[in-house]
Amino acid sequence: MADTAVQAKDHTPTVEGAPKPAGALDARLAALTLPQGGFAAAARRDALTRLQDMGLPGPRDEYWRYTDPRPFNAPQAAAIAVPDGQETPLFDTLDKLTLVFVDGRFDEAASDDLALDGVEILTLAKADGAEWAAELYGKLEAAGQHPVRRPFATLNTAAAPDGLLIRVTGKPSKPIHVVHRRASDGADAMWHHLIRVEPGAELTLLETGMSGARSNSVIEVDLAEGAAFHHVASKRAIEAKVGIGHIFARVAARAQFKSFTLAVNGTMMRNEAVIDIAGDDAVAHIAAAVLGDGGKAPFHQDDTVFITHGAERCESRQVFKKVLKNGAEGVFQGKILVKPGAQKTDGYQISQALLLDERSQFLAKPELEIYADDVKCSHGSTTGAIDDEALFYLRSRGVPRERAIVFLVLSFLADALAEVEDEAIRDCIYERLDVWLTLNAVQ
């Protein structure tokens, strides 16, 4: 790629002295039916109090500098017609436990039985008496509010009616696959998963599809010593979807956290990841491959990552790749914080955009904050266009231009896709990506 480093620039004009949207939160809450009772009642009350204190993001909020919070602040979701027919689900060829959510609600009839060796699975809407869940619910979200506030996550803790509570004690023979579906045009979907992986246990969580016209999700992941969690999500919105997703992870000693997201289209998407590496010799990787086409509807996609190193000899890796066309906008805000005493930290961050035309843009704000002296941290951000020489090379062999561009896009995304460790899962992603890219190319 012809790379040129890009400086983050401010493109959302802020109005001096603009009032904080007073009453916006009240209106937002009034439109929701808050869940009552149950094991999470206290945590939800606490979340509500915290939310009242922080309010919703206003136009001058630094953390929302590149992304307009208004679609998330609005009391109602803008209705979007549910498309006819569902796509063939991804990962169809894999052996897995499939759990279906329709507009953010667990659909028992459409799902497999909640039975998998080495795993206990409950749902948030029905759970009672799961002590571990009562202890954990909202805790990692609350801990992730410093130093930056994430009010939509707190809103989620207070208001999400459903989600999965997964406690892993062994090494299950197959992954859990959460399939999201849409059913109603105006659904405002909110769900909250809680995942606890006990010492030495392992889980692979697959997520595909979309819930709601607007969505707000939180996943809290608590990894005990030596635990491993692999998360692979694929989200493609054909329609003008609005969504915000959060992952809060706490990673204990020798544990491994790995998350990869493939995000294709949509209108306004923000994914926040807050990862607290709390024990020695732990590993946290987070990666995304994003395809944005602003041709039919505006496209804006934001990855906001905050990784804290609080222990020794830990490794973190952020790999974000965005392919943008037809005026699409991509944002990356990524931070590595190395606390005092987190010696021998190995932190790596790369964010790159491939712009397929001059109207598209990428805004990157990489940050390092380091308080230990014996660490290795690097970050880089580039924006480039299709490499003419490579394009000519492929075409000179008879590969048609459109197909050659698909190859070069796959080439660009390869480092992010390589973060999916399981070969069978990676093959599924590649296969689907190829189909989507080919579809996009001929459109």
Partner 1 sequence: MLKIDNLHVKLEEEDKQILKGLSLEIPAGQVHAIMGPNGSGKSTLSYVLSGRDGYEVTEGSATLDGESLLDMEPEERASAGLFLAFQYPVEIPGVGNMTFLRTAVNAQRKARGEAELSSGDFLKLVRAKAAELQISPEMLKRPVNVGFSGGEKKRNEILQMAMLEPRMCIMDETDSGLDVDAMRLVSDGVNALRSPDRSFLVITHYQRLLNHIQPDVVHIMANGRIVKSGGPELALQVEQEGYGDLLAEVG
Q: Which residues bind partner 1 (CB under 8 A)?
A: 388-390, 392-401, 403-404, 407-408, 410-415, 417
> Beta 4-5 vs 376-384: how paired, if at all?
antiparallel
Cis peptide preceding 147, ω within 30 of 0: yes
Least distance to partner 1, CB of residue 222, Å:
34
Least distance to partner 1, CB of residue 339, Å:
35
Least distance to partner 1, CB of residue 45, Å:
49
Closer Cβ to partner 1, 124 or 408, answer by number? 408
Closer Cβ to partner 1, 377 or 390, answer by number? 390
Strand partners, 121: 166
Dist. CA 205–CA 218, nearest whole Å: 14
Least distance to partner 1, CB of residue 415, Å:
7
Closer Cβ to partner 1, 271 or 351, answer by number? 351
Dist. CA 201–CA 142, nearest whole Å: 25
The tokens describing 420, both together, are: 């999916």
Task: Name which of 239, 264, 244 is nearest 185 in CA terms.
Answer: 239
305, 338 in Cβ contact below 8 A? no
Least distance to partner 1, CB of residue 419, Å:
13
For 116-152, b where at least 16 C-beta lie within 10 A, e where not — what string? Answer: beebbbbbbeebeebeebbebbbbbbbebbeeebbbb
Closer Cβ to partner 1, 280 or 415, answer by number? 415
Least distance to partner 1, CB of residue 396, Å:
5
The tokens describing 48, both together, are: 């509500």
Least distance to partner 1, CB of residue 391, Å:
9
Closer Cβ to partner 1, 127 or 417, answer by number? 417
Closer Cβ to partner 1, 25 or 394, answer by number? 394
Least distance to partner 1, CB of residue 295, Å:
24
Dist. CA 262–CA 291, nearest whole Å: 8
Closer Cβ to partner 1, 376 or 401, answer by number? 401
Size of the chain in residues: 443
- Look at phi and psi of residue 425 and say left if phi exceeds 0, alpha if psi is from -120 to 50, else beta: alpha
- Residue 442: Cβ-neighbour burial (10 angstroms; 0-12, 13-18, 19+): exposed
Task: Name which of 290, 356, 281 is nearest 319 in CA terms.
Answer: 290
Closer Cβ to partner 1, 100 or 428, answer by number? 428
Q: Which residue has the tokens 């190829």?
A: 434
Closer Cβ to partner 1, 328 or 433, answer by number? 433
The tokens describing 242, both together, are: 């609005």
Least distance to partner 1, CB of residue 36, Å:
51
Task: Name which of 259, 215, 265, 273 is nearest 235 in CA terms.
Answer: 265
Q: What is the SS3 assignment for 68?
A: coil
DSSP code at position 254:
T
